[in-house]
Chain A
Amino acid sequence: MTAQHNTAAELPLIGDFSTAGPVLTGARIGVVTFPGTLDDRDAARAVRLAGGEAVALWHAEADGAKALSSLDAVIIPGGFSYGDYLRAGAIARFAPLMDAIIAAAGGGLPVLGICNGFQILTESHLLPGSMIKNEHLKFLCTDQVLRVENNTTAWTRDFAAGEEITVPLKNQDGQYVADEKTLDELEGEGRVAFRYVGVNPNGSRRDIAGITNAAGNVVGLMPHPEHAVEPGFGPDSPAGMRLGTDGLGVFTSVLASLAGGAGHTAGTTAGGSK
């Protein structure tokens, strides 16, 4: 308890079993909070455990462009923004901050949407397709195995191609749908980022759990990598109960792509252009 005092303010009230974090990169990652957002604290914590600085972003930010200008990436976390009224993500998409995020994403800012955040990204047309109710109509909460299908995006480059990871999944409107042409394009361009392995938990077309835009900077997925970042609080793993930290790679990936500069854009040229 001597050298680490600079992180004292971030220490949880209960035991922190995480191993020593990597060196701070200085990267500032914004985490958006809408009314009804649930997982903003977890996402911010995942950013810190990965070695970045988490910056809280309020949905009604008066000057969204200015707020984003000092940030290196943005995460739209899960929850039930605006109570999922109308459609999941439909109201949040018109929040003042979203216009700035849509513009910045077009300029290459890395943006990650998790669960409700993924729904907001599809409602914003930053990602194609949409989510409808789970095929079985039930809210589902389970540890889910995913395969990383594209490890060249800003949010997946720390994974091996085809690597299987286990992270929690918890949603009601998690069934990914798009027309056949869009699905064929996603497959053909390597834009399926994550796929469900073993069981398809919600009827998603072609077992799709997460997708990326053509440039590789905008990624959305239904499962929750931010809940699998700290030993003792993650999914069960072969190493032991609750020890799974497979989700951390999502957050270290964006820090690596920020540190590595053009890595994520160069990586998608093979299949990214039309």
Chain B
Amino acid sequence: MPTIVVDVMPKPEILDPQGKAIAGALPRLGFTGFTAVRQGRRFELTVDGEVTEEVLAQARQAAVDLLSNPVIEDVVNVAVLADPGAPGGIGQAAEAVQAAEGQGA
């Protein structure tokens, strides 16, 4: 079954208390190379059948209507997840869609 991934991040201007706490914990564990952390969410939508442009449009709409709150969050990525188990053709097509989406975000 193909999967569409939706990534949601807190808006840059919104304080992210969880990310801040994680940023504070990193140096305590010896990870000193990072100055800040922002924590977001990743949703994986399993698609019943083929990923058509219509299904992708539905995912984008759901991302705005339900999966994110536009007041505090941005949808930063909606992409088809490449299925490593699938035949090469489908996987490559999926990766192409993902690359295109990535550029848009």
Contact = CB atoms under 8 A, between A and B. Distances in A.
Interface of A: 86-87, 90, 94, 122-123, 128-130, 132-137, 175, 177-179, 203
Nearest to B17: A133
Given A122-B71, A177-B72, A178-B71, A132 B17 contact: yes
Given A137-B21, A177-B72, A132 B67 contact: no
Contacts of B21: 137
Interface in B39-92: 66-67, 69, 71-72
A90 B66 contact: yes
Given A137-B18, A177-B14, A179-B13, A132 B72 contact: yes
B93 interface: no
Contacts of A94: 66
A134 B18 CA distance: 9
Contacts, number: 38
Contacts of B71: 122, 128-130, 177-178
Interface of B: 10, 13-18, 21, 66-67, 69, 71-72
Contact of A133 (B18, B67, B69): B18
Contacts of A123: 69
Nearest to A131: B72
Contacts of A179: 13
Contacts of A177: 14-15, 71-72
A88 B14 CA distance: 17
Contacts of B17: 132-137, 175, 203
Given A122-B71, A177-B72, A178-B71, A132 B15 contact: yes
Contacts of A134: 17
A84 to B, nearest CB: 13
A132 B71 CA distance: 11
Contacts of A137: 17-18, 21
B72 A90 contact: no
B15 A203 contact: yes
Contacts of A122: 71
B9 to A, nearest CB: 13
Output the residue of A87, A135, A137 with the most chain B CB within 10 A: A87
